[in-house]
Amino acid sequence: MRNTVYEPIVKENMRYLIYNLLLYICAPLVFLYLLFSKRNRGMIRRFQAELHRCPESPIWFHACSVGEVGVAALLIKELSAQLPDNAFLLSVSTRTGMKQAQASKTNAVLTYLPFDLPHLIRRFVNHYRPSVLILIETELWPNLVKTMYLFGKPVVVVNARLSDKHFPRYKFLNKVAPQVFSMLSCVCTQEETYNARFQALGVPAERICSTGNLKYDQEPLFLSPEQRCAVKKEIGIGERAQVVIFGSTHPGEEKLAARCWEELSAQYEDLFLIIAPRHLNRMKSAVEPFAGTDFRRRSLLGEPQGSRENSRILFLDTMGELAKLYQIADIAVIGGSFFPGVEGHNPLEPAAVGVPVLFGSHMESFKDAVRLLLEAGGAVQVTSPEALSGALERLLEDKPLRAKMGNNGLDAVKKNQGATGRTLAEVLSWLEKR
C-alpha cells in the first residue's frame, strides 16, 4: 500500500539529491575550466566559502554582477541611513560585480558567493548568520534558498523579473527543486506582468507585490558644464564635436560601428566616436574592424603610443567610466541589441542624463524600459543593423530633435521613480520580524 502522506516529501528529497549529485559531478569539470581560463581563473575562489570578519546578524544582499550591484548599493545606502547600527554583507558572483561593489564604496562587508554546493553554502551561512537575505532580481539558487529557510531566516527577492527568455529556465528549476519558490518570504517585482509568473512557479500570491523598477531610482553623478569640458579636454574631444557612444558592445557590433563611421565620418567632420566593449578581454578583436584607421585607447592617453591627437575614435578599455562619459555624449547606442543572443543592456543609464538613445531589435531583457522610452519619445529602435547608420544620420542632422529626445527620456525616468521607498517598506517589514 502506497503511503500518500510521505510520497511528496520523498520525491522532493530525491530531486534535491539528484540536483546536488549533478553539482558534485560537474564541480571538478568547472574547476578545471576555471583553472585554465585566463579570464575566469579568479573565480576558483568560489569553490570556498570566504569567511571574513563581520558584525553579528548582518543584512545580507546578494547581487550577481554590475547592474544588480548598483541596485544593492542603492538599497544599502538607504537602509544604512535608517538602521545606522546594522551591519551589511554584500556578496557577488562575478569579477566585474566585485569591482563595481568596491567602487560603490558601501559600508558592507564584500565577498564572493560560493558555488551552490550544499556544504559551502551551509558553512557560509553558519559563519555570517545573516538576519535576512535580499536577492537582487532572480539569483535563485536552490541550496542557498533552502539553507536560509532551514536556518529560519527570511529570503526576500527585490527588483524581481522573469523575462520571456528566463521564464522557461525557472520552470525547469521548479521541476528540479519545486519548494525553492514556496520558501521565498516575499517577492517584489519590477512590474505586475511578472506577478503571475512567480505565482505559477509556486510563490503564494500574498507574498508577491509590484514595487517598480529600482534602476529608475539610481541617481547618476551629474557633471557640471565645467566638469564636462574637463572630461572632453582630458580625452581630446573638441568643444564642437558630436559625440556618439557605442556602449557595452558585443561581437559584431564593433564592425557595425566601423561601418557607421565609414559612412558618416566624411560628412560630419566633427563626429567623435567612443566604443566601449562590454568585456575588456575582447579588446584585441574589438579594434580589428578599425584596422587602418587612427584610433586611441583610453588607457594609453598621455602615453607616446596613444598620442594620436587627430584621431576621432576612442576605445574605452578601462572599467567604471562609461556612465561618466555618457554625460558628454550627444547620442548613445546600446550594445548587445543588434544581434541575437545577448538581449540588450540597460538603456536607462544614458536616458537618465538626458541623452537620446538608439538600440536594435534584441532588447528582450529590458522590455519595460524599452517600452517606456519609446512611448515617451526618448529613444529610437532600429529594425536591423543596416538601418543604424541612417538613424544616426537623422539625429546628427537634427540638434533640436536630439534635445527633445533627451528631455523626453529624462522626464520618463523621473516619472517612474519611487520604487526604492516601496521596496524598503517591504524589506523593513521583514526586518521587524527578525
Q: What's residue 7's pLDDT?
A: 47
Do residues 60 and 134 make contact, with C-beta atoms less than 8 angstroms apart?
Answer: yes
Do residues 334 and 358 make contact, with C-beta atoms less than 8 angstroms apart?
Answer: yes
pTM here is 0.83
Do residues 52 and 111 make contact, with C-beta atoms less than 8 angstroms apart?
Answer: yes
In terms of Cβ atoms closer than 10 Å to its own Cβ (0-12, 13-18, 19+), residue 213 is buried
- Residue 330 CB contacts under 8 Å (≥ 6 apart), including other chains: 242, 243, 244, 355, 356, 395, 396, 402
User: pLDDT digits over 111-126, tens only?
Assistant: 999 999 999 999 999 9
H-helix or E-strand spanning residue 58:
none
Q: What's residue 4's pLDDT?
A: 45
Ordered by where they begin, the domains of the chain are 7-212+418-431 (3.40.50.11720), 225-415 (3.40.50.2000)
Q: What's residue 108's pLDDT?
A: 96
d(CA 96, CA 417): 26
Using the structure block, give the residue that is written with the C-alpha cell 574605452: 316
68 is catalytic: yes
Q: What's residue 6's pLDDT?
A: 40
C-alpha cell of 197?
509568473
In terms of Cβ atoms closer than 10 Å to its own Cβ (0-12, 13-18, 19+), residue 223 is middle
User: pLDDT digits over 278-305, tens only?
Assistant: 988 899 999 999 988 889 998 887 654 4
Q: Which residues of the chain have pLDDT under 50?
A: 1-10, 304-307
Report CA torsion sign: 333, 419, 102, 65: negative
Alpha helices, DSSP H, located in 288-387: 322-325, 348-351, 367-376
Please pick, among 68, 253, 254, 349, the residue that the annotation labels catalytic: 68
C-alpha cell of 175?
521541476
Q: What are phi and psi of 268, to 5 degrees?
A: -115, 90
User: Strand, helix or coil at 271?
Assistant: strand
Do residues 251 and 383 make contact, with C-beta atoms less than 8 angstroms apart?
Answer: no
Q: What's residue 309's pLDDT?
A: 62
